[in-house]
Structure 1
Amino acid sequence: MSIPAGREWLPYCGAAPVPADLLGRWNLDALLLAGIGLVALLLWRAGETGVQRRLTIAAVALALFLFVSPFCALSSALFSARVTHHVLLAAVLAPLLIYALPEAKTRWPGSLGLWTGVQAVTFWLWHAPGLYAEALSSDAIYWAMQASLTLTAMGFWGALRRASALTSVAALLVSTVQMGLLGALITFAGAPLYAPHFFTTEPWGFSALEDQQMAGLIMWAPSAGLYLAAALIIAQRWFAAEDRGIAA
């Protein structure tokens, strides 16, 4: 287990913290805060209902947690925190952003099948060890990772919003399976794969392999469960509508 000679990991969120330092590691990047503020303003002005504005508040709060709070620094130390970060981007922040907007403003080109595939490929690519390592050594690549994960997920949830119930359930089940499969592959890898975390997990009480296994389990169960829960909600509403139609 070695890091290439001369290679230093310089994550956007800063060097990996130790537990005693974590609470002081707020990311007060002025450009980031301005960007979040601008998005919040645009969403607030675009929202047409109280529900949409409450979703805007929730999306902004989550973005602040992911990129400004000490959780950002924690994701430099633990791959499991980074995976949690990515899951929250794709399965929570993206739908919040989509549903905070009127439906007419989320009609991106492309079918639900296309966006299901694009989202899956994007998620798998950024968790390939080599590309992941590049993202933790370059701010430009880091933001390319964050933007592509969020935008492809928004494309998925936007297409889901306008699809039929049957198509939506099928797409969500496919997403559940692919997320669980990637999580399983990471969980059962026999050795640490993610070089930026080879030497950052010990202060937190985990070996690099244990942290990686925890990350895989997070992706395998809770994250896949989010897509499955959405599928079950849509299916329940679909069956309830069918029952009302029969009763009428």
Structure 2
Amino acid sequence: MDPYAWSWNPEGLVVLLLAAGYVAALRRYPTPWWRPACFGVAMVLLLAVSVSPLHMLAMQYLLTVHLFQNVVLAEWAPLLVVLGLPPALAAAIARPSAMRLLTHPALALPVWLANYMIWHLPWVYDTALEHPSSLLHLEHALYFLTGLALWWSVVQDAPHELRAGTRAAVVFGAFVLVSPIGLVMALIPRAIYGFYVDAPKRLWGLSALQDQQLAGVLMALEQAVVFFAILAFWFARFFAEEDRREEIDRSPEAA
């Protein structure tokens, strides 16, 4: 089996349908150029981890590449998709009561976290990889959908219109609670995923343990950079809101 082969599977078709739906929606919901750019980057990333050689490497050979695939599905692509939605379109999508429930951070954060942790349990991880036509697609779908719910509560105003401080708290909580996954992989002294221990051949000169340690380090670093960048943005917005509130409070006194 060629580790650098392209893989055609239903996930690629779903990505193309999402892209087509978004283009059609833009006719009704015009938006600044940067939003379609964000959505477009999300689609490219999703296609890269679904049909490019990255998919074959992740499914058969390297835990490092599989963790990159998971990060794209659970963190990067959902964030970029939510950023890419015009506010009016996002408000229309968020109108049903089910969306109000699913995107509330009190539910979205623990569900995203539980999903992330469950799929990284060794026996669950290995079982999903052994069933690529069923469980693996379910895993990828849940990563993406729970990621959408989490980032929706952080980025979009509808339906909850959270304050900047609350959004910062959600991001901080997500980082603190999910970061142990990568750290455990990096620090544990043995390979814990049997599927990759039994890989058909070793690539890039990495043993199964080295592959796992590299995957854990890169995951921890990625999350530190991404989550803290978003956290810094919302902290800046929080302090700006506080300054405006103080100015408003002082205005009657000045008058």
- Assess same fold via TM > 0.5: yes
Instruction: Pick closer, same or farther for the CA change 1:165–1:89 going to 2, 3 Å.
Output: same
Q: Tell me the matched-pair count.
A: 227
Matches within 5 A, 1:217-236: 217-236=217-236
Partner of 2:252: none
- Cα deviations across residues 110-145 of structure 1 (Å, max 9, x unaligned)? 221211110000000000011111111111100000
Residues in 1 aligned to 2:186 and 2:53: alpha-carbon distance in whole angstroms: 26
- Tell me if the contact between 1:191 and 1:209 (Cα under 8 Å) persists in the aligned partners: yes
Q: Which amino acid aligns with 2:105?
A: L
In structure 1, what is the Cα distance between the partners aligned to 2:153 and 2:91? 12
Matched, 1:150 2:150: no
CA distance in structure 2 between the aligned counterparts of 1:74 and 1:223, rounded to whole angstroms? 22
Alignment-derived partner of residue 253 in structure 2: none
Aligned Cα root-mean-square deviation (Å) = 1.9
Following superposition, the deviation at residue 168 of structure 1 comes to 0.9
Distance in 2 (alpha carbons) for counterparts of 1:132 and 1:157: 24
For the pair 1:70 / 2:53, whether they are aligned, the reply is: yes
Q: Deviations over 1:32-83 (max 9, x none)?
A: 4432221111122223213332222212111111111111112121111111
TM superposition shift of 1:147:
0.3
CA deviation after TM superposition for structure 1 residue 179, in Å: 2.1
Aligned-partner residue type, residue 174 of structure 2: S
For residue 86 of structure 1, the aligned residue among 42, 47, 70 is 70
Residue deviations 1:187-242, cap 9 Å, x none? 22221111111143623211101111111112222124312211111111222343
Q: Match for residue 188 of structure 2?
A: 189
Identity over aligned residues, as a percent? 25
1:240 correspondence with 2:220: no
- CA distance in 1: counterparts of 2:208 and 2:2, whole angstroms: 13
**Rounded Cα–Cα distance in structure 2 between residues aligned with 1:95 and 1:245:** 29
Describe the shift of the 1:197–1:177 C-alpha distance in structure 2 as closer, same or farther (beyond 3 A): same
Q: Choose the corresponding residue for 2:8, options 6, 10, 28.
A: 28
Q: Where does residue 19 of structure 2 map in the other structure?
A: 40
Contact 1:122 1:148 in 2 (8 A): yes
Structure 1 segments of 4 or more deviating over 6 A?
A: none
Matched, 1:99 2:86: no
Q: Is the 1:112–1:156 contact (alpha carbons within 8 Å) kept by the matching residues of 2?
A: yes
In structure 1, how many angstroms separate the alpha carbons of the residues matched to 2:13 and 2:67? 25
Equivalent pair of 1:165/1:234 in contact (CA under 8 Å): yes
Partner amino acid, structure 2, of 1:51: W
Match for 1:60 among 43, 50, 53? 43
CA shift, 1:185, in A, is 1.5
2:100 pairs, out of 109, 131, 153, with 109
Tell me the alpha carbon deviations over residues 130-171 of structure 1, each in whole angstroms, 9 at most, x when there is no partner.
Answer: 111111111110000000011001011112233221111111
SS of 2:52 mapped into structure 1: coil
Larger radius of gyration: 2
Q: How far 1:97 moved relative to its partner? A: 1.6
Match in the other structure for 1:216? 216
Q: Which residue of 2 aligns with 1:164?
A: 163
1:136 match: secondary structure:
helix
Deviations 1:15-45 (A, max 9, x none): 672xxxx2xx11233x444322211111222
What SS class does the counterpart of residue 219 from structure 1 fall into? helix
Structure 2: gaps spanning 5 or more residues = 249-255
Q: TM-score, normalised by structure 2?
A: 0.82
8 Å CA contact retained: 2:196, 2:208: yes
Match of 1:8 in 2: none
Q: Distance in 2 between matches of 1:33 and 1:168?
A: 32
